[in-house]
Amino acid sequence: MSFTLAIVGRPNVGKSTLFNRLVGKRLALVDNQPGVTRDLREGAARLGDLRFTVIDTAGLEDATDNSLQGRMRRLTERAVDMADVCLFLIDARAGVTPIDELFAEILRKRATHVFVAANKSEGSAADAGVIEAYGLGLGEPIRLSAEHGEGMNDLYSALMPLA
């Protein structure tokens, strides 16, 4: 039996970049399945020998500041409820923002399994943000660079027990 991973976090932290890295060209097949909405993209992920379903919480990118919080909460809660495990992304270069804190609160209340990943962590400019991510109270952050494919081994180690 496999599992479903939801990638959650505020806009621009790199969720879709990670989704695309995990799914590659297989998204085209999944897109035709029923139940795939514009706001939640679902794909067949591959990471080493792991095979699982991944959900990208898209659809927040065009929200205005006013509507963002409510949409963010509803969309994230939907994704969390569909998933066995959540990967909460922050942007290590930006550090932990107030919106990230809101996400952490939603996840602490709602999700059973949560991993925090500090994305964009290639290079030393991300070091402070990685340290800040410990303060979210969701465990040790996984240091990732979705764009450069760094940290995928640590993501594998975190997810492997769920397979």
Contacts of ligand GDP in 56-85 (CB under 6 A): 61
User: Minimum distance between the CB of residue 88 and ligand GDP, rounded to whole angstroms?
Assistant: 11
Binding mask 4-33 for ligand GDP (x = CB under 6 A): -------xxxxxxx----------------
CB of 134 to Mg ion, least distance (A): 25
HSE value, Cβ hemisphere, 13 Å, CA-based, for 12: 9
- Residue from 4, 16, 20, 97 binding Mg ion (CB under 5 A): 16
Binding ligand GDP by CB under 6 A: which of 5, 52, 75, 120? 120
Closer Cβ to ligand GDP, 73 or 163, answer by number = 73
The long-range contacts involving 125-130, CB below 8 angstroms and separated by at least 24 positions, are 125/93, 126/92, 126/93, 128/95, 129/90, 129/91, 129/92, 129/93, 129/94, 129/95, 129/96, 130/92
Cα-to-chain-centroid distance, residue 133: 14
Tell me if 147 contacts ligand GDP by CB under 6 A: yes
* Helix then strand then coil, % of the chain, to nearest 5: 45, 25, 35
Under DSSP, is residue 43 helix (H, G, I), strand (E, B) or coil? Answer: strand
The region of 65-73, 79-87, 119-127, 132-140 touching ligand GDP under the rule CB under 6 A is 119-127
Detail the residues annotated as belonging to a binding site for GTP. 9-16, 56-60, 119-122
Helix (H) or strand (E) holding 8: strand 4-8
Please report, as residue ranges, which positions from 45 to 74 form the binding site for Mg ion (by CB under 5 A): 58
DSSP 1: -
| Binding region for ligand GDP (CB under 6 A) | 11-17, 61, 119-120, 122, 145-148
